[in-house]
Chain A
Amino acid sequence: MDRRKFFRLLGAGGIFGLLKARAQTPPWDEETFASMKTLGAPLSEYGQRSPFEEGVVRYISPNLRTRHSGADFAPLEKLEGVITPNGLHFERHHGGVPQVDPAKYRLVIHGMVERPLVFTLEDLKRFPSVTRTYFIECAGNGQNGYRNPPDPQLTATRSRGLASNASWTGVPLALLLKEAGVKPEAKWLIPEGMDAAAYTRSLPLEKAMEDVLVAYAQNGEALRPEQGYPVRLVVPGWEGSIQVKWLRRILVTDLPAMAKDETSEYTDVMADGKVWAFTWIMDPESIITYPSGLQQIKPGFHEIRGLAWSGYGRITKVEISFDEGKTWRQATLEPPVERYAFVRFKMPWHWDGKEVVLWSRAWDEKGNTQPTREEFFKKWGRNNRYHYNAIQAWRILPDGRVVNGDRPLGQQAFGPAGGCGGEVFDG
């Protein structure tokens, strides 16, 4: 282009631009500048989030029969990165949240040990410490996937929000067990909580010696009461219900307790009618958090974002399909990609305004991936309550609304039975 013509065009554009700017209403008002005219809030001893963010809360099902035993969901689609803020970590308890005075706190290890021991919180903190990022996921996560036909009102929260991810600090349980001297005939630990349910489970000694943490801190501060203050177990990759909170006692023994929460609950009814016990390891999961159920998007650029994790170790890849599984494209994983921890996946995407269904599936280092709904129910019973990890589909409608894109399976109605999350079938 010749220079004179270029400047002429630029000049024309400039004048046109100026005229246009005069006609345009500013996309702000006086309120936008208000904070610059007065002093802000003073220093505060414990920071609070902006009052404008107070709507970002855990989801508590209105169908729960009591709020003293049940679970609530982390608002996954309203969070960024991989760390779940402490006030939003999903909860699950069986007899309310106890208020424990750390000065009165004791942990006893007894049973098949050389030296029964009692620890104070101070004792536990004096041991060499470990800080690791691990997800904790309720075995009942995904329970809304059992619903048939699928719930059109489903959100990412209600799909997979019984999972959270935090940086946990504590002492390896192996160190405490060595201190007590485990006898050769011991094979099991029966950890017990100091809640009103005196919650117990059975944990194989072998796992405890591998990587179980006796944790006292969560994302840098003391555990939240809902997460077991002052001390809980963190059992990497395993179902949340075995990660006993408010830990008061560990019985070392040679048999599992077959406690209520590993027999009448947290056992799995399979499609062939068998009931599986000790389904500890959490299968790979992924959930697209944006765009996701009940959100609204506009045509143009979007970054598809989501979370993936697996109880088998590291996530190796996450794939996204735009054609219900016929073809797959690989998403980017945001480092660090750690074992037994949430990883954030992303994919740049241009939405052309046409109806489309998004699927995501995670792959882990053991080669496991997520099944479709059809595949999932070939193995797991339709009336099972736990371990649902089938692909979650989101349908973008032409008007930009995002709804549950899961396919119905047959005519028969099924539903979650009001398990830990209280998401009862209402159809």
Chain B
Amino acid sequence: MVKRILVLLALLGLAVGARYNLGTPISEELAAQYDIRPAVLPDGRGLPPGEGKVEEGERIYAEKCASCHGARGEGYPFNRLVAEPFPITPDTEPAEFAIGNYWQYATTLYDYIRRAMPFGAAGTLTNEEVYHLVAFLLYMNGIIDAHEPINQKTLPQVRMPARELLELDPETKRRFPWLTLP
């Protein structure tokens, strides 16, 4: 009987995962401390509290972004950021791809600016400054009005014009039938 229970327990152990007990468990709090540039998901998860204002963004942009992306986001020497708020066509040259005509999710802006910008000084912007820049760039691209607040709640609601062009690669769809684009 004891033997049978032992065998049963061993089998249960295997079923639960046959773990190697390597690595150190950490608390959610510690994991959050390690997560210095949290991923922002399209539903807004990962966005911090705070709110962006266009005029504040304009000031920060001129100081920290314009030297790479042009005074009004027209680009040069690095990527163009501002375009008309109409999606690209197959005739649009890739150098013309910008936020207003190519970016499909507004949340990506927050995630990427906080994660990687300014180039060479990533991680120096405060959460609030990132919101200001996002607001300014969305405004410059004709996506929002000058007085629209940009925050945890509103940013995931911003519909980007190029989203209507975006489709899943059919091969990806075939291999992962459950997969949909947010």
A binding-site residues for B, Cβ under 8 Å: 65-66, 68-69, 94-95, 106, 108-110, 115-119, 123, 126-127, 175-176, 178-181, 187, 190, 192, 196-200, 204, 206, 249, 251, 253, 255-260, 263-264, 267-281, 381-383, 385, 417-419
A259 and B31 contact, CB distance less than 8 A: no
Q: Nearest Cβ in chain B — how far from A68, in angstroms?
A: 7
Residue B40, interface by CB 8 Å: yes
Given known A-B contacts A259-B112, A263-B108, A198 and B26 have beta carbons under 8 A apart = no
Report the separation of the CA atoms of residues A94 and B167 in the bound assembly, to the nearest whole angstrom. 25
Residue B5, interface by CB 8 Å: no
Report the separation of the CA atoms of residues A277 and B115 in the bound assembly, to the nearest whole angstrom. 21
Which of B99-107, B131-139, B141-149 participates in binding chain A? Answer: B99-107
Report the separation of the CA atoms of residues A259 and B169 in the bound assembly, to the nearest whole angstrom. 17
A383 and B116 contact, CB distance less than 8 A: no
Known: A123-B24, A249-B35, A383-B94. 10 other contacts (CB 8 A): A126-B22, A179-B22, A251-B39, A255-B43, A263-B108, A264-B103, A273-B89, A277-B168, A278-B172, A280-B172
A196 and B116 contact, CB distance less than 8 A: yes
Residue B42, interface by CB 8 Å: yes
A residues in contact with B122, CB < 8 Å: 95, 196-198
Q: Whose C-beta in chain A lies nearest to the C-beta of B109?
A: A260
Report the separation of the CA atoms of residues A198 and B92 in the bound assembly, to the nearest whole angstrom. 30
Given known A-B contacts A110-B31, A179-B23, A95 and B116 have beta carbons under 8 A apart = yes
Q: Which of A118, A180, A259, A417 has the most CB of B within 10 A?
A: A259
Given known A-B contacts A95-B119, A277-B167, A280-B169, A418 and B108 have beta carbons under 8 A apart = no
Residue B63, interface by CB 8 Å: no
Q: Nearest Cβ in chain B — how far from A419, in angstroms?
A: 7
Report the separation of the CA atoms of residues A259 and B61 in the bound assembly, to the nearest whole angstrom. 21
B22 and A123 contact, CB distance less than 8 A: yes
A263 and B172 contact, CB distance less than 8 A: no
B95 and A418 contact, CB distance less than 8 A: yes
Residue B126, interface by CB 8 Å: no
Report the separation of the CA atoms of residues A259 and B19 in the bound assembly, to the nearest whole angstrom. 32
Q: Whose C-beta in chain B lies nearest to the C-beta of A115?
A: B25
Which of A187, A251, A256, A269 is close to B88, meaning CB atoms less than 8 Å apart?
A269
Given known A-B contacts A117-B24, A264-B102, A277-B168, A255 and B19 have beta carbons under 8 A apart = no
Q: Nearest Cβ in chain B — how far from A348, in angstroms?
A: 36
Q: Which of B30, B78, B99, B167 has the most CB of A within 10 A?
A: B167
Q: Nearest Cβ in chain A — how far from B107, in angstroms?
A: 7
A259 and B39 contact, CB distance less than 8 A: yes
Report the separation of the CA atoms of residues A109 and B30 in the bound assembly, to the nearest whole angstrom. 12
Q: Whose C-beta in chain A lies nearest to the C-beta of B170?
A: A276
Interface residues of B in 70-116 (CB under 8 A from A): 77-78, 88-95, 97, 99, 102-105, 107-108, 111-112, 115-116
B residues in contact with A263, CB < 8 Å: 103-105, 108, 166
Report the separation of the CA atoms of residues A410 and B103 in the bound assembly, to the nearest whole angstrom. 30
Report the separation of the CA atoms of residues A145 and B93 in the bound assembly, to the nearest whole angstrom. 15
Residue B6, interface by CB 8 Å: no
Report the separation of the CA atoms of residues A270 and B93 in the bound assembly, to the nearest whole angstrom. 13
B residues in contact with A197, CB < 8 Å: 115-116, 122
Q: Nearest Cβ in chain A — how far from B160, in angstroms?
A: 9
B residues in contact with A269, CB < 8 Å: 88, 90, 92, 94
Report the separation of the CA atoms of residues A264 and B45 in the bound assembly, to the nearest whole angstrom. 20
Report the separation of the CA atoms of residues A190 and B43 in the bound assembly, to the nearest whole angstrom. 15
Q: Could you show 5 A-B contacts with beta carbons less than 8 Å apart?
A: A116-B26, A118-B30, A263-B103, A263-B166, A273-B89
Report the separation of the CA atoms of residues A106 and B182 in the bound assembly, to the nearest whole angstrom. 31
Q: Whose C-beta in chain A lies nearest to the C-beta of B117?
A: A197
Interface string of B146-160 (1 = CB under 8 A from A): 000000000000000
A259 and B172 contact, CB distance less than 8 A: no
A residues in contact with B88, CB < 8 Å: 269, 275
B23 and A204 contact, CB distance less than 8 A: no
Report the separation of the CA atoms of residues A268 and B167 in the bound assembly, to the nearest whole angstrom. 10
Report the separation of the CA atoms of residues A187 and B23 in the bound assembly, to the nearest whole angstrom. 23
Q: Which of A127, A190, A273 has the most CB of B within 10 A?
A: A273
Which of A95, A268, A383, A419 is close to B92, meaning CB atoms less than 8 Å apart?
A383
A258 and B168 contact, CB distance less than 8 A: no
Q: Nearest Cβ in chain A — how far from B176, in angstroms?
A: 6
Which of A117, A251, A264 is close to B23, meaning CB atoms less than 8 Å apart?
A117
A residues in contact with B28, CB < 8 Å: 110, 116
A residues in contact with B104, CB < 8 Å: 258, 263, 267, 275, 277
Interface residues of B in 1-60 (CB under 8 A from A): 17-28, 30-31, 34-35, 37, 39-43, 45
Residue B162, interface by CB 8 Å: yes
Given known A-B contacts A94-B116, A196-B120, A258-B182, A106 and B34 have beta carbons under 8 A apart = yes
A274 and B167 contact, CB distance less than 8 A: yes
Q: Nearest Cβ in chain B — how far from A38, in angstroms?
A: 50
Report the separation of the CA atoms of residues A223 and B119 in the bound assembly, to the nearest whole angstrom. 25
Report the separation of the CA atoms of residues A196 and B112 in the bound assembly, to the nearest whole angstrom. 12
Q: Nearest Cβ in chain B — how far from A147, in angstroms?
A: 13
